[in-house]
Amino acid sequence: MIARAFAPATVANLGPGFDVIGLAIDGIGDTVTVRTCSTPGVSIARIIGDNGKLPTDPAKNTAAIAAAETLKAAGIDANIEIELTKGLPLCSGLGSSAASAAAAAYATNQLIGSPLRKVDLIGPCIEAEAAVSGRHADNVAPALLGGLVLVRSTDPPDLIRLPLPEGLTVVVVTPNHELPTKEAREVLPKEVPLSTMVASTAQVAGLVSACYSGDLSLLSRSLEDKVVTPARIGLIPGGNNALQAALGAGALGASISGAGPSLFALCRSPRSAHATAQAMRREFELAGIDSTIHTSPANCPGVRRVKP
């Protein structure tokens, strides 16, 4: 028996929504194939596209952990092997580990007859993320469910799918510069002033309100992050200039995607997104860094089955 699934890249944090808001991106992601086998438990047969950097130890790989946790959640004892094809660069801020986990959980669920719903796979994927990058769901939730997701709680998982204004387009620019999540977390402030906390709470509330009302002006005003982005932007060569260039080109807002170094911008239309992407790329070129551009509708599907 065999099953295969694809899970998309994600933009997590989304400005002020640190660890609580994430967005699925169309067209790029990871693919996982699972098969029944004779080797006990969950094993990794091979990994393609990681340049030998990811662990094949099933206790240290998010795809294998998510698969094992899915079997546990379903109450099924099975022996499966995993083939992981990386379509996402490592340490890029695009939810690489989450995409692997989501694809593995979904494919495993398909292999055993789909006893679990997509939302039931959130827990197994959170456990996988917790083993490698922290206990959060702002990547795995949109990777599984698609669209824009607010994570109200991880224990237990409590998720809210937010509406998106029509025509909203996402630009993601990934510089050729690795930034491990651990390094990006280490620069975060341990404490923030009460006034900053209040302002950040208001920003998240404004962002959610703008999604429901379709108010792009409010959305633009609510994307600024006063805590995490200022702490991390110095880790991304040319990053601050690229964010300013995005705003100058007409983007509604721009910030760091996940832990970085990828940056994202939200734009009113595909035309605006094109101008924004080129402006951001130029700033990285001026910093002597190559970059990759990806544009996507803001409202995209999550994990799905693909033919083996």
CA distance 151 to 19: 8
Q: What is the mean pLDDT of residues 6-16?
A: 96
**Could you identify the residue written with the tokens 């302002």?**
199
User: Is residue 180 over pLDDT 90?
Assistant: no
pLDDT of residue 215: 97
Per residue in 194-250, pLDDT (tens digit) is: 999 999 999 999 999 999 999 999 999 999 999 999 999 999 999 999 999 999 999
Which architecture, in CATH terms, is 169-297? 2-Layer Sandwich (3.30)
Query: What is the side-by-side strand order in the sheet with 291-297?
Result: 253-256, 263-267, 169-175, 291-297
Q: For the whole model, what pTM was predicted? A: 0.94
- CA-to-CA distance for 127 and 145, rounded, in angstroms? 17
Is residue 143 within 8 Å of 104, Cβ to Cβ? no
What percent of the chain shows pLDDT beyond 70? 100
pLDDT at 45: 95
For the annotated catalytic residues, the residue numbers are 129, 181
Characterize the bridge pairing of strands 263-267 and 169-175.
Answer: antiparallel
- The type of residue at 57 is D
Domain ranges within the chain, ordered by starting residue: 2-162, 169-297
Contacts of 103 (CB under 8 A, 6+ apart): 5, 6, 7, 29, 30, 31, 32, 63, 84, 303
φ and ψ at residue 227, rounded to 5 degrees: -120, -65
Residue indicated by tokens 């959130």:
122
pLDDT in tens, 65-114: 999 999 999 999 999 999 999 999 988 999 999 999 999 999 999 999 99
Question: CA 23 to CA 234: how far, in whole Å?
Answer: 24
Pick the CATH number of 2-162 from 2.30.250.10, 3.30.230.10, 3.40.30.10, 3.40.50.1220: 3.30.230.10
Structure confidence at residue 218 (pLDDT): 98
What rounded mean pLDDT belongs to the chain? 95
Side-chain-facing half-sphere of 53: CA atoms under 13 Å: 13
